[in-house]
Amino acid sequence: MNSTFHLANLLTEPPGIAHFMTVGAVLFVCGAMCMATKRNALGVLMGIELVLNGANMNFVAFGSQYLQNGGEYLGLDGPLMALFVIVLAAAEAAVALAIALNFYNNHDSIDVDRADQLQG
């Protein structure tokens, strides 16, 4: 029942949900910052992939029986939701890539700052 982070027994105690959630949080934050700061539209897409992976990490952690410590347990919901997220991410990447290629063909640029035709 160790909830705090002890450096001494880092390798002797099994990782819990919190460890997986922290990795997911790092992936999420990196992806969100990619979406915010990249100027290449494909870089923004890669940020979206990272965000979805960070979310997936939480689903997998809460659905894993090896990480349970008497808290919430999603059971089969976790892996199945993770599968749906993976499939929807593939679909999203296909459509977004088609839009990006269309934009590139029409404007001869992949810079998201150039996509300002719809602003009022």
Partner 1 sequence: MEPIYWPSFFFYLFAILACGFAVAVLLSANIVRMAFYLVLSLAATSGLFFLAGQEFIGAMQLLIYVGGTLVLLVFGVMLTSQERFVSMKTMSGDWFIGLMAGGALLSLLAAAAFSVPQWGSPDRAAVENLPVQKTAAPIAMGLLGARVDQPGPDEPQRGVMSGYLLHFEIVSVHLLVVLVGAAYLARAKRKTAPAPGV
Considering only residues 3 through 32, tell me which ones interact with partner 1, judged by CB under 8 A. 3-5, 9-23, 25-32
Cβ closer to partner 1: 3 or 119? 3
CB of 96 to partner 1, least distance (A): 9
Contacts (CB under 8 A) with partner 1, residues 68-97: 68-72, 75-76, 78-80, 82-84, 86-95, 97
Size of the site for partner 1 (CB under 8 A): 86
Contacts (CB under 8 A) with partner 1, residues 99-118: 99-102, 104-105, 109-111
CB 55 within 8 A of CB 28: yes
Please return the burial class of 48, using the count of CB atoms within 10 Å of its CB with bins 0-12, 13-18 and 19+: middle
DSSP, collapsed to helix, strand or coil, labels residue 89 as helix
The answer to whether residue 119 forms part of the interface with partner 1 (CB under 8 A) is no
Please return the burial class of 54, using the count of CB atoms within 10 Å of its CB with bins 0-12, 13-18 and 19+: buried
Cα separations (Å) of 97 from 26, 42, 63, 90, 92? 25, 8, 31, 11, 8
The answer to whether residue 44 forms part of the interface with partner 1 (CB under 8 A) is no
Cβ closer to partner 1: 1 or 120? 1
